[in-house]
């Protein structure tokens, strides 16, 4: 399986004002989900199920708010491609995040819509 080397940057915002607060989360693009979102590989995922987090796939929207906590939320900001990296294969795998986590990473915990860094 081939990972696409794009960094996906999520920014944190204040819920009441929608203002960016200067922090966020970085994850790696992995594929598209069957529901039309992005599957991304990141750390600090899964929270208490993994004693604070693990590396796993999570599903992210490019247009909607993602993780929400303590009056804040995350939203997709931008993709970045490392300098000097060229790849002509732009066909991403379409997958079910929970199934891929189970098969590839041996993780059986179901993902939820409130995953992201900083939780």
**47-75, pLDDT tens digit by residue?**
566 566 677 888 999 999 988 888 999 99
Compute the average pLDDT of residues 14-38: 92
pTM across the whole model = 0.74
Looking at per-residue confidence, does 11 or 53 come out higher? 11
**Cβ–Cβ under 8 Å, residues 56 and 45:** yes
Looking at per-residue confidence, does 108 or 96 come out higher? 96
At a CB cut-off of 8 Å and minimum separation 6, what does 34 contact?
94, 95, 96
Share of the chain above pLDDT 70, in %: 75
Per-residue confidence (pLDDT) for residue 33, from 0 to 100: 92
**Cβ–Cβ under 8 Å, residues 13 and 74:** yes
pLDDT at 106 over 80: yes
pLDDT at 3 over 50: no
């Amino acid at each position: 399986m081939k990972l696409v080397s794009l960094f996906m940057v999520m920014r944190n915002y204040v819920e009441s004002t929608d203002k960016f607060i200067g922090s966020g989360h970085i994850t790696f693009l992995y594929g598209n989900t069957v529901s039309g979102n992005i599957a991304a590989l990141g750390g600090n995922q899964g929270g208490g199920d993994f004693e604070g987090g693990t590396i796993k796939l999570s599903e992210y929207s490019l247009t909607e708010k993602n993780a929400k906590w303590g009056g804040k939320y995350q939203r997709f900001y931008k993709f970045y491609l490392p300098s000097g990296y060229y790849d002509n294969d732009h066909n991403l795998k379409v997958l079910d995040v929970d199934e891929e986590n189970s098969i590839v990473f041996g993780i059986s915990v179901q993902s939820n819509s409130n995953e992201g860094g900083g939780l």
